[in-house]
Amino acid sequence: MSRPRYKRVLLKLSGEALAGEQKYGIDPKTITDIATEIKDVIACGTEVALVIGGGNIFRGLAASSKGMDRASADYMGMLATMINSLAMQDALEKIGVDTRVQSAIEMREVAEPYIRRRAIRHLEKGRIIILGAGTGNPYFTTDTAASLRAMEIGAEVILKGTKVDGVYSADPMKDPNALRFSQLSYIDVLKKGLQVMDATATSLCMDNGLPIIIFDVTTKGNIMKVVLGEEIGTIVKGE
């Protein structure tokens, strides 16, 4: 097997990626396929931390736009990320991968509290850590949580797995002339308002020089390709 480019990565999965072809919930086949790929990545020597969104179950921002209190809606969204985290833990452990779920909100019966040094120690021991409940604060997205946690644990890159194969100039589903970018700067993303990560997360990565790779996680083998350094998707980094 080729030598991996990255020693430690943070993989950010959208909640929608776990839904597969469904519009809601968790598709068992999809989550098992992703878990199997992550197992292969661990086998090649790369340490993996996971942050999973909750959009397949509940979106706090969407609920607040319809009149729900934003803070309450965001806490509900955090609980949705914990449901996804526990589902991913189950899928990984069924195929023999040792995992730990850490939550930014205390819930001792199902997850450890997030403690940075403990999280790093789990990675050093070859375990996958799944970081749930965002930052534990309303008004911050799971993208921001991914950026923050990636820097705290010393990840070399954020791998953002979505349902599209990179960042486009327009929605490729609606505009056949949309162009895919192979590389972007943080400033390009912020100025053009591209749907990479929210502005807070992008700014955090820019300030700390943390690259982001956006790729299609639904295509088999793509997680391994990114870890090995193959040029797929779109990379966002400094000028």
For residue range 32-49, what is the model confidence (pLDDT) as tens digits? 999 999 999 999 999 999
Helices assigned H by DSSP within 44-167:
60-65, 70-94, 116-124, 142-153
Q: What is the pLDDT of residue 150?
A: 98
Q: What is the pLDDT of residue 57?
A: 93
What's the pTM value of the predicted model, to 2 decimals? Answer: 0.93
Q: In what order do the strands lie in the sheet with 112-113?
A: 112-113, 99-103, 128-132, 47-52, 8-13, 157-162, 212-216, 234-237, 183-185
- Lowest model confidence (mean pLDDT) among 54-68, 97-111, 137-151, 205-219: 54-68
Span 8-237: which CATH code?
3.40.1160.10
pLDDT tens per residue, range 90-134: 999 999 999 999 999 999 999 999 999 999 999 999 999 999 999
Residues 102, 86 contacting (CB under 8 angstroms): no
Q: For the chain, which residues make up each domain, given as ranges?
A: 8-237
**Higher-pLDDT residue of 39, 194:** 39
Q: What is the pLDDT of residue 59?
A: 80
Q: Across the chain, how many H-helices and E-strands are there?
A: 9, 11
Q: What is the pLDDT of residue 31?
A: 95
- What confidence tier does 170 reach under pLDDT thresholds 50, 70, 90? confident
pLDDT exceeds 60 at position 1: no
